A and B are shown apart, each in its own frame.
Chain A
Amino acid sequence: MDFPPGDFLILGCVCPLVIVTPEVSMGRYVIRRILQAIPLLLLVSIFMFALIHLMPGGPDQVIFNPHLSAAARAQMRVRFGLDDPVPIQYLKWLRNALTGDFGFSFTTNLPVLTVLGQRFPATLELFGSALIFALIFAILLGVVAGVRQRSITDYTLTTVSYFGISMPVFLFALFGQYIFAVALHWLPASGITSVGYTLAPFDAFVDGVWHLILPMMVLSILFIAAWSRYLRSTMIDVVKQDYMRTARAKGVSPLGVLMRHAMRNALIPLVTVVTLDFGSIAGGAVITETIFSWPGMGQLFYQSLEARDYPILLAMLTLSAFFVVAFNLLADILYGVLDPRIRYA
């Protein structure tokens, strides 16, 4: 996801668990949260369906070939389920969607899920590598900056995170392309592989990595900015705790205190934040993928929007909402599992 700075501000308060005494077992908590999520997702899907269908130039008027005969047109409308009134269409769509059938893409005529499946690996590659890369850097930067406040690392972190939240992702992408591809010729400007070559397996792998570096860096800057700052603030809290002093007094080495006592506690809230961010994978990184011609789900979304491929748009909107909600729940559960002080309310 190329999330807007709004998310960055709110990360600090993403913790919907209320610490209230009457303790509920985790099973009941999970069930209740799932029951709450169902109407939410229904609402989202109704909202999205209505939006797509009320749009000027909605699927009803989609540019079927103007030379089609009236009979052929009617046949097309039946095929894409456009002959019913909109509420009935919604119910039919919902019934099919629940069984994993999101209809057919207008442009390729393939089942929507097949199209999404073709695009998913590329997004997973980009997202996964960016998350890992960002996690390593964010932990390094955040921990050092939290322990050594006002050090060079701390100031570097502040600068990087201000850059990260103040610059639109597409600018990072454009500047990156210009510097590393156009000016220096170090990295390929776009694409996922070199086109027109047949490479040996190892060379193909190197080629893939080569293409991955630039989009991955661009995507990870935002994550690094958000996570490292978050980790820094939890680290500052943890370092002040009494058990840190106790551990040091017992004679644990500084590194041991840091790794065994401080990190373990400071990383807990980060796990939830990372989980939340991973939930946006279904939406893909629309901006990054489009600019780097990365054939993932984000680019698919952009292309479908340009082509008015409504079944794909609808499926992606609802699926991404589903992922966001699901990972929200997962983050809350993980938080409770990792930190036993949290009570489920």
Chain B
Amino acid sequence: MDVSEQLSLSSFDEEIEPFLAETSELVQKRRSQGRIIFDRFMRNYTAVGGAAFLILLFIFCFVGPYIWHVNPNTVNVLHVKETLANPSLTHPFGTDDVGRDQLARAMAGGQVSLIVGLLSMLIGIGIGTLIGALAGFYGGWIDNVLMRITDVVLAVPLYLLLFVLSAAFSDGKPQTVILIIAFFSWTYAARLIRGEFLALKEREFVMAARTIGANNFRLMFRHILPNAAGPIIVNATLLVGANIITESVLSYFGFGVQPPNASWGTMIATGDSFFDVDPWLVFIPGLLIFATVLSFNLMGDGLRDALDPYMTER
């Protein structure tokens, strides 16, 4: 936020090419739009920190199991010392009540949590884009019907409906949890994209495309949608974090991912019963969730600033 505010104070040309005056003429080259956005993002240290942490986290969850060869589901109840152990060299994250290694479980659970967050975001944004684009582009009764459906989903407090749906239909498999969460994450995207479409469809470039014979489908997805990409990307990034939280809440209350599949949420749910004996069982997955969601939020805000420097401080 710091940098982007300085940018909005400086003149427009300087914002696009900050070092233009100092660069010798032969080397001068205009940066592409993507490059400008990338450079702007890289100057936002908290956002870069979030992105870097996420990369490390993905390596931890997806490459980690190849280095840490411990089966996350190996039960070891024969030795009392092996159950509910505090972090040590043999078990860096400790063990749970049946002696399973928490580091291996954190990796496996992280895979589930991240995949649930990412896939439910993708499906949610997909549905939201389709509904928002149709509503904003066609207007009229299509808009009315689609927006009323959106209102219905938005009118009931999220967790009440999520709990009911999960209790009724969820079999505890990650796929089902993804679908249920995705079903509730399209509403804001739909409203956002509808708004963008309403504004963009009146612009000259859309009319120009129409005059050279582009059909509606092409207008919507080749001409208007790329121009609405900024807000969608920001919304998508923040939505991953939100969906990871939702998943953990569902799993904590027993409506989400069920054993034998584990996620960070289920790990907390198991550890909760032993909270007073061994708080690590809750602290470690809890901090992992927190750090992950925080990173997605920081990155999302950084992307927002980079994509739209005039909308800062909001």
Interface residues of A (CB under 8 A from B): 1-6, 9-10, 12, 39-41, 43-44, 47-48, 51-52, 55-57, 150, 162-163, 165-171, 174-175, 177-178, 182, 233, 236, 280, 283, 286-287, 290, 301-302, 305, 313, 316-317, 320-321, 324-325
10 closest A-B pairs by beta carbon, nearest first, are A283-B157, A55-B168, A166-B294, A321-B155, A166-B293, A5-B242, A168-B245, A321-B156, A171-B286, A167-B290
Q: With contacts A5-B245, A9-B238, A283-B156 known, what are 20 further pairs, Cβ within 8 A?
A: A3-B158, A5-B238, A6-B158, A6-B238, A40-B155, A47-B152, A51-B165, A166-B241, A166-B290, A166-B293, A170-B252, A174-B286, A175-B282, A280-B157, A283-B160, A286-B159, A286-B163, A290-B253, A321-B155, A325-B155
Contacts of A4 in B (CB 8 A): 158-159, 242, 245-246
Residue of A nearest to B161 (CB): A317
Q: Which of A43, A55, A317 contacts B160, CB < 8 Å?
A: A317
B289 an interface residue at 8 Å Cβ cutoff? yes
Q: Which of B155, B191, B272, B282 contacts A44, CB < 8 Å?
A: B155
Contacts of B298 in A (CB 8 A): 162
What's the least CB distance linking A199 to chain B, in Å?
A: 27
What's the least CB distance linking B231 to chain A, in Å?
A: 11
**Interface size class, chain B:** 35 or more
Contacts of B245 in A (CB 8 A): 4-5, 168
Q: Which of B275, B293, B313 contacts A167, CB < 8 Å?
A: B293
Query: A57–B169 Cα gap in the complex (Å)?
Result: 10
Contacts of A166 in B (CB 8 A): 241, 290, 293-294, 297
**Are B249 and A320 in contact, CB atoms less than 8 angstroms apart?**
no
Check A171/B168 contact, CB under 8 A, given A43-B148, A283-B157, A286-B163.
Answer: no
B39 an interface residue at 8 Å Cβ cutoff? no
Q: Report B160-216 residues with CB < 8 Å from chain A CB.
A: 160-161, 163-165, 167-169, 185, 188, 191
**Are A165 and B167 in contact, CB atoms less than 8 angstroms apart?**
no
Q: Which of A3, A170, A280, A301 contacts B163, CB < 8 Å?
A: A301
Can you identify 16 A-B contacts, CB atoms within 8 angstroms? A2-B159, A3-B158, A4-B242, A5-B245, A55-B169, A150-B2, A166-B290, A167-B290, A167-B293, A170-B268, A171-B248, A171-B289, A171-B290, A178-B282, A317-B161, A324-B156
Residue of B nearest to A9 (CB): B238
**Are B156 and A44 in contact, CB atoms less than 8 angstroms apart?**
yes
Check A287/B276 contact, CB under 8 A, given A51-B168, A55-B169.
Answer: no
B17 an interface residue at 8 Å Cβ cutoff? no
Residue of B nearest to A328 (CB): B155
Q: Which of A2, A182, A302, A317 contacts B275, CB < 8 Å?
A: A182
What's the least CB distance linking B230 to chain A, in Å?
A: 14
Query: A137–B101 Cα gap in the complex (Å)?
Result: 42
What's the least CB distance linking B186 to chain A, in Å?
A: 11
B314 an interface residue at 8 Å Cβ cutoff? yes
Residue of A nearest to B239 (CB): A6
B279 an interface residue at 8 Å Cβ cutoff? yes
**Are B159 and A283 in contact, CB atoms less than 8 angstroms apart?**
yes
Check A313/B164 contact, CB under 8 A, given A9-B238, A283-B159, A286-B159.
Answer: yes
B151 an interface residue at 8 Å Cβ cutoff? yes
Query: A3–B148 Cα gap in the complex (Å)?
Result: 21
**Are B169 and A174 in contact, CB atoms less than 8 angstroms apart?**
no
Query: A175–B188 Cα gap in the complex (Å)?
Result: 30
What's the least CB distance linking A236 to chain B, in Å?
A: 6
B44 an interface residue at 8 Å Cβ cutoff? no
Interface mask (B263-287 → A, CB under 8 Å = 1, otherwise 0):
0000010001001100100110010
What's the least CB distance linking B195 to chain A, in Å?
A: 8
Check A320/B160 contact, CB under 8 A, given A51-B165, A167-B290, A290-B253.
Answer: yes
**Are B168 and A287 in contact, CB atoms less than 8 angstroms apart?**
no
Interface mask (B227-263 → A, CB under 8 Å = 1, otherwise 0):
0000000010011011001101100110000000000
**Are A40 and B169 in contact, CB atoms less than 8 angstroms apart?**
no
Query: A145–B116 Cα gap in the complex (Å)?
Result: 36
What's the least CB distance linking B257 to chain A, in Å?
A: 15
Contacts of B272 in A (CB 8 A): 174
Contacts of B253 in A (CB 8 A): 170, 287, 290, 302
What's the least CB distance linking B298 to chain A, in Å?
A: 7
Contacts of A283 in B (CB 8 A): 156-157, 159-160
Residue of A nearest to B295 (CB): A166
Q: Report B46-102 residues with CB < 8 Å from chain A CB.
A: none
Contacts of B168 in A (CB 8 A): 51, 55-57
